[in-house]
């Protein structure tokens, strides 16, 4: 990524206020311990409940602080997804369009709580993602994929490859992959068959709702410089 180019960084809602959770939970726990030490008698049910709440707040705060400060970065040429185990990069030319994945539910449609991305070339994307990142995304996004699968397997008759990704994959170009990259590639293929999108950005990595962020991605596709400069200007004026 060229550091001289303007970049728009996105901070996920789910990663915010980690320090606040740690501080409030820690202070609360210390106060409860001091009160219990200075006051004679056994600890009360209320104090146990409050202490448990403080410990939970500390734990949540710790988890939030382990996430990357920024979850996504837009540049003129790249969309970068930051994960605690690694990053993936998507070239602007490889981005086709974005939308909200939907699955049929009777006469209506169920929208996944994620933004879908359609690629132009899956090979280009697979060659830059690391196995560790691919494996973690397979696990973290499985619940979203299973929502899609369940709507297509109402009678319990699902293709086995939908439930367990194959460790071998041959791309349309003839390039062969194996291991975690192949499993990730097969997941994207099945996701594309069922929803029309190859990648997912879950709502918890975004800084706004899924519909607005999908619109942002499509605006970035049309004119990356204009989109980035407009958003940076808005952020400055907040």
List per-residue pLDDT tens for the chain, 238 residues long. 555 667 888 887 665 656 777 788 888 888 888 877 777 777 778 778 888 888 887 877 776 766 777 889 999 999 999 888 888 999 999 999 999 998 876 667 788 999 999 999 999 999 999 999 999 999 988 888 888 887 777 666 676 667 778 889 988 888 899 999 999 999 999 999 889 999 999 998 888 899 999 999 999 999 999 999 888 887 765 5
Spatial contact of 102 and 151, defined as CB atoms under 8 Å apart: no
pLDDT at 155: 66
pLDDT at 115: 95
Q: How far apart are the first and last CA of the chain?
A: 27
**Dist CA 219 CA 132 (whole Å):** 31
Of 125, 71, 62, 111, residue with least CA distance to 210: 111
Spatial contact of 149 and 157, defined as CB atoms under 8 Å apart: no
CA distances from 229 to 75, 116, 133, 158, 207 (A): 10, 24, 30, 46, 17
C-alpha dihedral sign at 20, 212, 120, 190: positive
Is this structure's pTM higher than 0.85? no
pLDDT at 214: 95
pLDDT at 24: 82
pLDDT at 77: 92
pLDDT at 18: 66
**Dist CA 143 CA 138 (whole Å):** 10
C-beta pairs of 105-108 under 8 Å, 24+ apart in sequence = 105/151
SS (H, E, C) the chain: CCCCCCCEEECCHHHCCHHHHHHHHHHHHHHHHHHHHHCCCCCCHHHHHHHHHHHHHHHHHHHHHHCCCCCEEECCCEEEEEECCEEEEEEHHHEEEEECCEEEECCEEEECCEEEEEECCHHHHHCCCCHHHHHHHHHHCHHHHHHHHHHHCCCCCCCHHHHCCCCEEECCCCCEEEHHHHHHHHHHHHHHHHHCCCEEEEHHHCCCCHHHHHHHHHHHHHCHHHHHHHHHHHHHCC
CA 181 to chain centre: 18
β-bridge partners, 9? 73
pLDDT at 162: 72
Residues written for the chain:
238
CA distances from 19 to 25, 28, 58, 207 (A): 10, 14, 9, 18
C-alpha dihedral sign at 176, 182, 185, 191: positive
């Amino acid at each position: 990524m060229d550091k001289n180019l303007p970049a728009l960084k996105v901070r996920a809602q789910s990663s915010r206020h980690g320090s606040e959770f740690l501080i409030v939970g820690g202070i609360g726990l210390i106060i409860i311990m001091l009160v219990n030490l200075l006051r004679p008698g056994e600890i009360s049910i209320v104090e146990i409940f409050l202490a448990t709440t403080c410990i939970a707040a500390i734990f949540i705060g710790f988890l939030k602080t382990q996430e990357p400060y920024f979850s996504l970065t837009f540049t003129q040429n790249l969309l970068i997804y930051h994960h605690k185990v690694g990053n993936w990069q998507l070239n602007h030319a490889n981005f086709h369009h974005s939308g909200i994945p939907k699955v049929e539910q009777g006469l209506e449609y169920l929208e996944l709580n994620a933004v879908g991305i359609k690629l132009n070339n899956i090979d280009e994307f697979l060659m830059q993602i690391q196995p560790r990142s691919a494996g973690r995304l397979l696990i973290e996004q499985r619940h979203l994929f299973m929502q899609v699968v369940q709507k297509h397997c109402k009678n319990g008759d699902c293709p086995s490859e939908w439930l367990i990704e194959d460790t071998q994959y041959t791309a349309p170009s003839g390039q062969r992959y194996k291991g975690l990259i192949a499993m990730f590639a097969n997941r994207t293929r099945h996701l594309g068959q069922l929803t029309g999108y190859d990648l997912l950005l879950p709502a918890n990595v975004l800084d706004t709702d899924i519909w607005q962020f999908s619109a942002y991605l499509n605006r970035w596709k049309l004119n990356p410089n204009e989109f980035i400069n407009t958003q940076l200007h808005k952020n400055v004026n907040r």
